[in-house]
Structure 1
Amino acid sequence: MTDIINCDPDALSLINTDQLLQPVSDDSPIKILILYGSLRNRSFSRLLAQECARLLNYYGAEARIYNPSGLPLPDDSGDDHPKVVELRELAQWCDGMVWCSPERHGAMTGIMKAQIDWIPLSIGAVRPTQGKTLAVMQVNGGSQSFNAVNQMRILGRWMRMFTIPNQSSVAKAWLEFDDNDRMKPSAYYNRVVDVIEELVKFTLLLRNKKEILVDRYSERVESAEALRQRLSVRS
């Protein structure tokens, strides 16, 4: 086969269908990190994040919400800042994430983007987000919009995450929460349940498969070339 395609024979391999399709038995709870994008006293993105955590707990997942208060602007502090360390440890801990941002000036907030920017594509040899699942949501002060979720989808792809198809955009969020800061029953709430339910399903399916799913021929070519160079130096 390799004589008719222009590939590196040391890096090219057939897909291991047994490894890909074989069920994996793992009863441990999936771990989901939730990020929100506002520091207001009554932040509707935070309230929506809390609703997501309740639903995730109901589905048997372990959910943690990161509080962005005190996180410095990207590059305005060292990687050893306590809030940066906390965020990066959570990014490595989780199997998937929920990103929930308000829409401000037609885009996600700077607070949301700063959190994502502090999560690097790699920490040493570890890629903290690669192969993990992602659900995106936004809250709106006015009519429904999808600018923030569309932007977050681009970022999720850049971070090599599996962004699930479903998403949520809550219009006039200030009308959707009661005096106890709980989301009222509505079509918007039903869609939030849809998103969390789908996130749990995708995370359960993918969490023990990510190594084979994100394995890339181009990176194997680089590794094979590096190995050949090391062997040639030794000889």
Structure 2
Amino acid sequence: MNIAIIAGSNRKQASSTKLSEYVAGVLGKKGGDARVFDLYQQPLPMYCPDDAYDDDRNVVELKELMMKCDGIVLATPEYHSSISGALKNALDHLNKDYFSGKPVLVMSSSGGAVGVSCLQHMQGIVRNLHGINSPEWISIGGAQRQSFEGERAGLEVQEDVDLRIHRACDLFVSLVERLRKG
């Protein structure tokens, strides 16, 4: 089971990216081969519908990853009650061919208590791209983000946060497996 994870921050040590890496490990233990595409490490040019981007290595790599995957995880910081510009730009480079019929788990990291607005926005985008929203999402905020910041990110995750992550990943993996079997 191939899982594409798009870490949608353009910040070097983003908690949403650390969350993505942690979730990749959780999914790996559940039988998934998860790959994180980090938009900070592999930035994409600003999307323009007039351009093909066939010569941009990062765009080509993202599209190849997305075409081969069985499931998708989208992670973003919450900016002004919505998704990051970096993630929105990445999604603009893609279309329904990359999402159609594939389960999608959405995740956010917010400076406030929870990042629900951006999760709702992502689920709307997923529907428009013909993806299938996973029944759970992952949102970390406030003090919960400390588990995903700094050098020890992901090593000492709060028990309640870890439980929510595992529950959301279990449902996501179950959905991916059911859809793969047809």
Tell me if both proteins adopt one fold, taking TM over 0.5 as the criterion.
yes
* 1:180 maps to 2:152: yes
SS of 2:113's partner is coil
SS in 1 for 2:5: strand
Give the SS at the match of 1:107: coil
Q: What is the 5 A alignment of 1:1-235? A: 30-68=1-39, 69-75=42-48, 78-80=52-54, 81-121=56-96, 127-172=97-142, 173-177=144-148, 179-182=151-154, 184-209=157-182
Amino acid corresponding to residue 114 of structure 1 in structure 2: N
Which amino acid in structure 1 is aligned with residue 136 of structure 2? N
Q: C-alpha offsets along residues 158-192 of structure 1, whole Å, 9 cap, x if unaligned?
A: 11111111111101254233641115123122111
Name the SS for the 2:99 alignment partner.
Answer: coil
Could you say which structure has the greater relative contact order, defined with CA pairs below 8 angstroms and 6 or more residues apart?
A: 2
In structure 1, give the amino acid aligned to 2:62. Answer: L
For normalisation by structure 2, the TM-score amounts to 0.90
Structure 2 residues not aligned, in runs of 5+: none
2: distance between equivalents of 1:79 and 1:177?
Answer: 33
| Residues in 1 aligned to 2:171 and 2:117: alpha-carbon distance in whole angstroms | 21
Deviations 1:103-160 (CA, angstroms, capped at 9, x unpaired): 0111110011111111123xxxxx2211111001100112213011100100111111
Question: Is contact 2:108-2:140 (8 Å) kept?
Answer: yes
- Whose Rg is larger? 1
Structure 1: gaps (5+ residues): 1-29, 122-126, 210-235
Runs of 4+ in 1 over 3 A off after TM superposition: none
1:82 deviates by 1.2
Distance across 1 between alignment mates of 2:99 and 2:181: 14
For 2:43 and 2:109, the matched residues in 1 are separated by 22
Return the letter of the residue paired with 2:2. K
Question: 1:9 — aligned with what?
Answer: none
Q: Kindly provide the CA deviation profile for residues 66-114 of structure 1, in whole angstroms up to 9, marking residues without a partner as x.
A: 1223211111853211111111111100001001111011111001111
